[in-house]
Structures are given as C-alpha cells and as structure tokens.
C-alpha cells in the first residue's frame, strides 16, 4: 500500500523517462534526390541537437549554444538548389532551439530572483541569435 502511495506522489523523474534522446529531432520524409546529399549532414545536426539538449539540461548553456552555432553554420554546406529548403528547415529548427535557450536564460538572469551566474550565457545567446538573423 505504501509503495502505491509513494509512486502516486513521486516528483522525481529520470532524464531518460522524461527526455527521449533516441528520437531524432529532424526526420527526412521525402527528398528529390533520395537524401543522398543531406543524410550525413542531417545525422550530424540531429546529434548536435541532442548533445546541445543534454548540456542545456545540465545548465551548461555556453557549450549548448556553441554546439548550436556550429551546427547552424554546417547547414551552409548544402549548396545544391534542391537542398536549399532542407537547409532552411535545419536552420529554422536550430534557431528555435537557441531561442528557447535564450528565453530560459532571460528568465534566469533578470528580475528579482535573477542570477548573474547566467548573464554571460544570456549575452552569448543574444549575440548568436543576432548573427543567425543576419545569415538567414
């Protein structure tokens, strides 16, 4: 009986129960060239997004931001005309991930309970987002 109550009111959840690190963030559904050019890049970007998420969960925001930044610039390797939409999609997903980190850092570094500990990461995220907008 006590085990049932404990399970009902358990607030701790393991990362692998809450975050699905085995699921890729971007999946190739269809491609004019069967994805021959972007499969390798897509795999790299998915790995980068997963790794960035792990750093983010551990509050290592600088590493998370740097991984997203490197991944964003990798997308410019797709220069073929039929790959441009895929590259734009990849950049959009990466930019959205960085925007989420930026919002999280803003909440953690400003206001009454804000911590100066995350101020440098917040500024870095802001600068990288500005760079992304210039490139897109």
The single-letter DSSP state of residue 23 is: S
Distance, C-alpha 73 to centroid of its chain: 14
Report which of 128, 72, 59, 60 is spatially closest to residue 99, judged by C-alpha positions: 128
Q: Is 53 among the domain residues?
A: yes
Question: What does the pLDDT look like over 86-126, one tens digit per residue?
Answer: 889 899 999 999 999 999 999 888 777 777 889 999 999 99
**d(C-alpha 17, C-alpha 85), whole Å:** 34
Averaged pLDDT, 32-43: 72
Give the range of the structural domain holding residue 81, as residue numbers without chain letter.
35-135
Q: Is 26 among the domain residues?
A: no
- For the chain, the residue count is 136
- Our count of domains for the chain comes to 1
Averaged pLDDT, 3-21: 48
Percent helix / strand / coil, the chain, rounded to 5? 70, 0, 30
Q: Is 29 among the domain residues?
A: no
pLDDT at residue 34, rounded to an integer: 63
Q: Is 76 among the domain residues?
A: yes
Please say if the pLDDT value at position 8 is more than 60: no
Q: Is 9 among the domain residues?
A: no
Average pLDDT for the chain: 82
Q: Is 40 among the domain residues?
A: yes
Q: Is 123 among the domain residues?
A: yes
**d(C-alpha 62, C-alpha 75), whole Å:** 21
The whole-model pTM stands at 0.79
C-alpha separations of 113 from 9, 71, 99, 110, 125 in Å: 28, 32, 21, 7, 20
pLDDT at residue 29, rounded to an integer: 64
Q: How confident is the model at residue 13 (pLDDT cuts 50, 70, 90)?
A: very low
Q: Is 90 among the domain residues?
A: yes
Report which of 98, 89, 23 is spatially closest to residue 66, judged by C-alpha positions: 98
């Amino acid at each position: 009986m006590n085990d049932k109550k404990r399970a009902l009111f358990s607030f701790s959840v393991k990362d692998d129960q809450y975050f699905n690190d085995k699921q890729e963030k971007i999946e190739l559904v269809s491609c004019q060239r069967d994805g021959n050019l972007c499969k390798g890049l897509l795999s790299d970007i998915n790995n980068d997004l997963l790794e960035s998420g792990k750093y983010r969960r551990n509050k290592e925001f600088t590493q998370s931001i740097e991984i997203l930044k490197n991944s964003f610039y990798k997308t410019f390797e797709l220069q073929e005309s039929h790959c441009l939409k895929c590259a734009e999609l990849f950049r959009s997903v990466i930019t959205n991930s960085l925007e989420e980190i930026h919002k999280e850092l803003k909440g953690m570094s400003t206001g009454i309970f804000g911590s100066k500990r995350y101020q440098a990461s917040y500024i870095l995220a802001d600068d990288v987002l500005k760079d992304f907008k210039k490139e897109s």
